[in-house]
Amino acid sequence: MKKKKKVGIIGGAGYTGGETIRLLLNHPDVELSFVQSRSQAGKYLHSIHEDLVGDTTLKFSKDNSLDVDVIFLCLGHGESSTYLNENKIPEKIKIIDLSQDNRIEGGHSFVYGLPELNKQRIQDANRIANPGCFATAIQLGLLPLASEGLLSSIHTTAITGSTGAGRQLQDTTHFSWRSNNISAYKTHTHQHLAEINQSLKSLQSSFHGSLYFIPWRGDFTRGIFVSSTLPFQGDLKSAYTLYRHYYKDHPFTSVSEAMINLKQVVNTNKCLIHIELINDQIVIHSAIDNLIKGASGQAVQNMNLMLGLDETSGLKLKAVAL
Amino acid sequence: MKKKKKVGIIGGAGYTGGETIRLLLNHPDVELSFVQSRSQAGKYLHSIHEDLVGDTTLKFSKDNSLDVDVIFLCLGHGESSTYLNENKIPEKIKIIDLSQDNRIEGGHSFVYGLPELNKQRIQDANRIANPGCFATAIQLGLLPLASEGLLSSIHTTAITGSTGAGRQLQDTTHFSWRSNNISAYKTHTHQHLAEINQSLKSLQSSFHGSLYFIPWRGDFTRGIFVSSTLPFQGDLKSAYTLYRHYYKDHPFTSVSEAMINLKQVVNTNKCLIHIELINDQIVIHSAIDNLIKGASGQAVQNMNLMLGLDETSGLKLKAVAL
Amino acid sequence: MKKKKKVGIIGGAGYTGGETIRLLLNHPDVELSFVQSRSQAGKYLHSIHEDLVGDTTLKFSKDNSLDVDVIFLCLGHGESSTYLNENKIPEKIKIIDLSQDNRIEGGHSFVYGLPELNKQRIQDANRIANPGCFATAIQLGLLPLASEGLLSSIHTTAITGSTGAGRQLQDTTHFSWRSNNISAYKTHTHQHLAEINQSLKSLQSSFHGSLYFIPWRGDFTRGIFVSSTLPFQGDLKSAYTLYRHYYKDHPFTSVSEAMINLKQVVNTNKCLIHIELINDQIVIHSAIDNLIKGASGQAVQNMNLMLGLDETSGLKLKAVAL
Amino acid sequence: MKKKKKVGIIGGAGYTGGETIRLLLNHPDVELSFVQSRSQAGKYLHSIHEDLVGDTTLKFSKDNSLDVDVIFLCLGHGESSTYLNENKIPEKIKIIDLSQDNRIEGGHSFVYGLPELNKQRIQDANRIANPGCFATAIQLGLLPLASEGLLSSIHTTAITGSTGAGRQLQDTTHFSWRSNNISAYKTHTHQHLAEINQSLKSLQSSFHGSLYFIPWRGDFTRGIFVSSTLPFQGDLKSAYTLYRHYYKDHPFTSVSEAMINLKQVVNTNKCLIHIELINDQIVIHSAIDNLIKGASGQAVQNMNLMLGLDETSGLKLKAVAL
């Protein structure tokens, strides 16, 4: 029997921390050594992540151990950089940073951890910047077109669940406000645009970032559903062929000829894509679970790749489905 | 044309404040003179109660005027008493206090404002303590039995919407937690038990308060649904006759021979009651909108009674229904 | 006191029938004479529209009376035409058809009943084709631009509540499927495009219908939220001036400088609009309640205009808000 | 490596069929040989259970094979008996019947498959009648008391998600009706009372079935939350000791000293229990996922026990949690 790798989590009290814990506790090839949290140190994990009652008696630690193979940084934006400045992590410990601090490449050694774009580089990396949730869902809808240089002006609307806004209490995550409600925010200015453009340009250097992105807040907790529209010359069959070819070696991203819906992917690491062609425009619908393929699941997928494990190890998750 | 009465609101920024504003703005017989809020003074009402955009250009005031006929106190529990101590309101101005501060009678001149129990006293009163939401829904299910001395040991389960917890941000009103969730709280210790027992004993002096009350938090915003079970000797027909007779002069409380559901009453001032008889036990289901019949609507109903207006004036509300 | 007008409803058992009943029962200037339903004839209205318990003892009729001033046709698409062929309604009885059968003008005397486009014609009409729900929400976001000839290629995403799909049972309105779910349907092919294009061309003859419309199904019951994006040369201030000027005589459509959300309009006849300008594109967000401003409320608004009543009579509705 | 056992499903198109498929596809010790469905034969599993896109290319079969070790009957109530009459299944093939047809023991060889009551008998059985969802949640809250002969008159209220009503379209599972709604049904007459009483009497022969059970329909898809109240003499500590002792060898049922909520167990095979003591009454709250511990998960747990596998094999499921 292969010896299990040891992993630790920095910042384990938030939503991505909780999801990462859930995935790692059930992962067959790794052992969760510590979960650090400044705010919750000393408390049981299940006092904060209440579903873990009966699953683990681990407590949040104040400090991190360096006797691990992988560290996940589940910290807020900005806090990862601070943490890495204040704590020198040896090169031999792999780091997966779920914040946005290192997603724009250059000036550091972090690789942008979108396996459908960078699988080989991830396998060779010691430092991974895990993509944003909207960024993952939107890119997976566009990468095949970019790979063929087919992107032009793109109109994207995407709706996200409330967990995307994190655990902290806010007016826009108050149940009485959010329930049965829809709203828009950060029109064309969402912070994920930078990493999306970076990826698209890496495949299609002629792309100049005319991606008009309207994010909506949805009245559900988990998931992102995206519809992107752009000019397209080919026929529907060629589009499906292109997408199927692009994703043939990627176990979590599937192309569906039937229309997709969000709950097909909720509580899984999957991305589903459906394509339509109307007149001169292609419409690409894509869906993910924002906390899994959009955060913690993709982080574990990156870990699997970095450690040479099966890419799907610990990630064959039962969909909530209903 | 009759001159409109002038009314004002103290503490207009919370949920019951907002509902009271909505009802009074559309009320044909009154004019909303001021809405006071310490925290929001100077801002437009619609900056806090966003649905009022286009309906009113009134702003929150810092102080209250005394040039009104009625003042509604939409303050937190404890704050009403403080306000009344610090502000001497002339006797000729009627006060309706939506807090729980004056619901237990004695030592003050407030009348408990449940029209189905105290209509005559309310009509003669200058000071009203408006009932609690759970208290309203539970009492309306039990008053007819109490009026005949038929209460004994009662088991009550009741579920409430998130608006019952108010506007402040709390872990249990975070959308990501509350959505699709059910939980229990304050089992047998809910603060409304005192006013319920007061009312039941006023009708049935032999009742000793053995009401086992389990409140649940529901994953919806508006409404309370109650099922109470207790021993009963008679037949179903006699029970319906008793309830119909008791409520015959009360326009907002109706008895339904068909099973009821919560959305029949959401966004209305109605209470619906359905009765079942199984073996030796009677089960009474009752439903209200916690913010309307359970708070602001009942407050307006009390105002109508105190001012000699039609009891239903301004309260014929379109149900949300769907 | 002015004598109340008599009104009747054909096809009163569905959702738009129910909403029309709710509005007309509370309308101060009309009297609901009959509600016809072939499927439910003889039953109480409240046996189907359960919230009406305690409000009315009217029953569904098998036939319609002609002793009325206005008839509302709340029939399915195609059924209105059949009904009108089989039942000759005298010219003096005004007809408001909520189906899509007569929305495309020509070959009949129906006027397209969008007051913000056709108020004068509606006031003079005897036959009204009431607009579709998506069509209303999208048009109200675009009419001011069309009035100045400023439309070019438009990308629109809009999400609708489940009531848009009607009362009949379908897989996509099964609670277990729809809850917490998002999906797309009828991309660029929705049946409302025809009436939208008709209206836009009536104001801007150069517009050639390049409106790319992606409808989504939302996991809520009521409301439509729309974001439309298109090229725009001016500045934000001029856009707001244009919209405010266009809607200055229209009591139900308001322009908000604060971002809007769906629940501001749920259970009201209002449309709210918010505008953003990013680089060379204008984004218009608009929101309505699909059953009210998108159906029955607009029908009553049209009735008010045809009868010479105050346009807002019976339509000052309490928002659900929370 | 141990050879995987072969399993098949009869009636795989419904909700419990779908959940059983999801669990068995990811189960490390078994291989899903066939999924029979009369209505869907020939179609891909993922055409009905849409989340399975990308997971399996298996199709529904018309007939069942007998070359399996275990057959799950995911048929409607009454249909299991018919199926078993028409298809003689050899004794060596184990059968797990998820319908209610064989839950009342006597006249057949089926063992009531509640592991927390009957683990030894299940391990030795060839035929299992899998418990009902309400029945599981309620019994797990009461078994420890019954084991000590402490049951007397019990008042139980329990709320269930919409999936409990199955896939077929019904008025009470229409999204527009069920959303934000609560209602009661089958008061004191629910069909699960028979199996609950059977179990309770098996542990406490003096119990005479005075369990007053009020089922509610909730506005969520998954889960059951129960509160049961009954007289109790002891103190809280002794109650917790009793419950902990009773469940010490049962990996899926845990006792929590913190108040529980439904989402702690959604999408898991767990049951959580919390106990309160008020005056002379004990209140037991319990929660399960109706489709997993209340149906398909418990069926797999029973299979594990019958096959001598680890009881938790394939059942360490990631909670949806948020």
pLDDT grade, residue A188 (50/70/90)? confident
At residue A231, does pLDDT exceed 90? yes
Q: What is the mean pLDDT of residues B190-214?
A: 95
The pLDDT score that the predictor gives to residue D283 is 98
Q: CB of A57 within 8 Å of any CB in chain D? A: no
At residue D248, does pLDDT exceed 80? yes
Residue in C29, C33, C31 with CA at minimum distance from that of residue C2:
C29
Verify whether the Cβ–Cβ distance D179 to C15 is below 8 Å. Answer: no
Which residues, in sequence order, are CB contacts of A9 under 8 Å at separation 6+? Answer: A17, A20, A21, A24, A32, A34, A35, A36, A71, A72, A74
Question: In this prediction, what percent of chain A has a pLDDT beyond 70?
Answer: 100
Q: Which chain D residues contact residue B159 at CB under 8 A?
A: 159, 182, 216
Verify whether the Cβ–Cβ distance D54 to A317 is below 8 Å. Answer: no
pLDDT grade, residue D165 (50/70/90)? very high
- Of B117, B133, B138, B239, the active-site residue reads B133
Tell me the Cα Rg of chain A.
Answer: 19
- Of A9, A71, A89, A133, the active-site residue reads A133
The pLDDT score that the predictor gives to residue D27 is 98
Q: What is the mean pLDDT of residues A210-232?
A: 97
Q: CB of C178 within 8 Å of any CB in chain D? A: yes
Q: Which chain B residues contact residue D219 at CB under 8 A?
A: 218-220
Q: Which chain A residues contact residue C232 at CB under 8 A?
A: none
**Is A271 designated active site?**
no
Q: Which chains pack against D, by 3+ Cβ pairs within 8 A?
A: A, B, C
Query: Which candidate from C53, C221, C266 shows the least CB-CB separation from B272?
Result: C53
Verify whether the Cβ–Cβ distance D218 to B219 is below 8 Å. Answer: yes
Chain-wide mean pLDDT for chain C?
97
Q: What is the mean pLDDT of residues A19-40?
A: 98
Residue in A314, A157, A133, A295 with CA at minimum distance from that of residue A227:
A157
pLDDT tens-digit profile of B291-305?
A: 999 999 999 999 999
Q: What is the mean pLDDT of residues A112-129?
A: 98
d(CA D214, CA B297): 29
* Pair B211, B196: CB distance under 8 Å: yes
What are the strands, taking DSSP E only, across chain A? 5-10, 30-36, 60-61, 70-73, 94-97, 111-112, 127-129, 154-160, 183-184, 211-217, 224-231, 253-255, 271-278, 281-288
Q: What is the mean pLDDT of residues A164-178?
A: 96
pLDDT grade, residue A79 (50/70/90)? very high
pLDDT tens-digit profile of B21-51?
A: 999 999 999 999 999 999 999 999 999 999 9
* Pair D112, D88: CB distance under 8 Å: no
What are the strands, taking DSSP E only, across D137-252? 154-160, 183-184, 211-217, 224-231
pLDDT tens-digit profile of D30-56?
A: 999 999 999 999 999 999 999 999 999
Which residues, in sequence order, are CB contacts of D100 under 8 Å at separation 6+? Answer: D77, D129, D132, D191, D192, D195
- Of C74, C111, C114, C133, the active-site residue reads C133
Residue in D115, D106, D114 with CA at minimum distance from that of residue D134:
D114
Q: How far is D8 from chain B (nearest CA, A)?
A: 32
Which residues, in sequence order, are CB contacts of A321 under 8 Å at separation 6+? Answer: A263, A264, A266, D18, D19, D22, D49, D50, D51
The pLDDT score that the predictor gives to residue B300 is 98
Q: CB of D27 within 8 Å of any CB in chain C? A: no
- Predicted ipTM > 0.85: yes
Question: In this prediction, what percent of chain B has a pLDDT beyond 90?
Answer: 96
Q: CB of A266 within 8 Å of any CB in chain C? A: yes
Q: What is the mean pLDDT of residues C251-260?
A: 97
Query: For an interface test with A, which of B175, B179, B180 has the most A Cβ atoms less than 10 Å from its Cβ?
Result: B175
d(CA D140, CA D143): 6
pLDDT tens-digit profile of D254-265?
A: 999 999 999 999
Question: In this prediction, what percent of chain D has a pLDDT beyond 90?
Answer: 95
d(CA C168, CA C179): 17
At residue D1, does pLDDT exceed 70? no
Q: How far is B175 from chain D (nearest CA, A)?
A: 9
Q: Within a 10 A sphere around the Cβ of B279, how many other Cβ atoms?
A: 9
* Pair B158, B138: CB distance under 8 Å: yes
The pLDDT score that the predictor gives to residue A1 is 58
Residue at D288: amino acid letter: I
Residue B196 is inside which H or E element, if any?
helix B193-203
Query: Which candidate from A23, A50, A322 shows the least CB-CB separation from D261?
Result: A50
The pLDDT score that the predictor gives to residue D179 is 98
Residue in D71, D5, D13 with CA at minimum distance from that of residue D299:
D71
At residue B252, does pLDDT exceed 80? yes
pLDDT tens-digit profile of D95-111?
A: 999 999 999 999 999 99
Q: Which chains pack against B, by 3+ Cβ pairs within 8 A?
A: A, C, D
Give bridge partners of residue D15 from the DSSP assignment. none
Residue in D318, C178, D219, D55 with CA at minimum distance from that of residue A263:
C178
The pLDDT score that the predictor gives to residue D279 is 85
pLDDT tens-digit profile of D264-274?
A: 999 999 999 99
Verify whether the Cβ–Cβ distance B272 to C54 is below 8 Å. Answer: yes
The pLDDT score that the predictor gives to residue D209 is 78
Q: What is the mean pLDDT of residues A99-105?
A: 97
Which of the two residues, C2 and B94, has the higher pLDDT score? B94
Query: For an interface test with A, which of C138, C152, C154, C155 has the most A Cβ atoms less than 10 Å from its Cβ?
Result: C155
* Pair C135, C197: CB distance under 8 Å: no
Q: How far is C147 from chain B (nearest CA, A)?
A: 23
Q: Which chains pack against A, by 3+ Cβ pairs within 8 A?
A: B, C, D
* Pair D250, D271: CB distance under 8 Å: no
Q: CB of C177 within 8 Å of any CB in chain A? A: yes
The pLDDT score that the predictor gives to residue A209 is 78
At residue C1, does pLDDT exceed 70? no
Residue in B115, B129, B70, B144 with CA at minimum distance from that of residue B312:
B115
Exposed / middle / buried, residue D201 (Cβ in 10 Å: 0-12, 13-18, 19+): middle
d(CA D26, CA D32): 10
At residue B1, does pLDDT exceed 70? no
Verify whether the Cβ–Cβ distance A173 to B176 is below 8 Å. Answer: yes
Verify whether the Cβ–Cβ distance C216 to A159 is below 8 Å. Answer: yes
Residue B71 is inside which H or E element, if any?
strand B70-73
At residue A175, does pLDDT exceed 80? yes
pLDDT grade, residue C64 (50/70/90)? confident
**Which domains does chain A possess?**
5-130+293-306 (3.40.50.720), 133-290 (3.30.360.10)
Q: CB of A264 within 8 Å of any CB in chain D? A: yes
Residue A270: closest CA among chain D residues belongs to which residue?
A: D54
Verify whether the Cβ–Cβ distance D219 to B220 is below 8 Å. Answer: yes
Cα C10-C14-C16 angle, rounded to 5 deg: 80
At residue D208, does pLDDT exceed 90? no
The pLDDT score that the predictor gives to residue B188 is 87
Q: CB of C66 within 8 Å of any CB in chain A? A: no
The pLDDT score that the predictor gives to residue C279 is 85
Q: Return residues 186-245 of B near C (CB < 8 Å).
A: 221-222
Q: Which chain C residues contact residue A223 at CB under 8 A?
A: 180, 182
- Of D10, D13, D35, D133, the active-site residue reads D133
d(CA B245, CA A36): 64
Q: What is the mean pLDDT of residues B307-312?
A: 98
Q: What is the mean pLDDT of residues C166-175?
A: 96
Q: Which chain B residues contact residue D159 at CB under 8 A?
A: 159, 182, 216
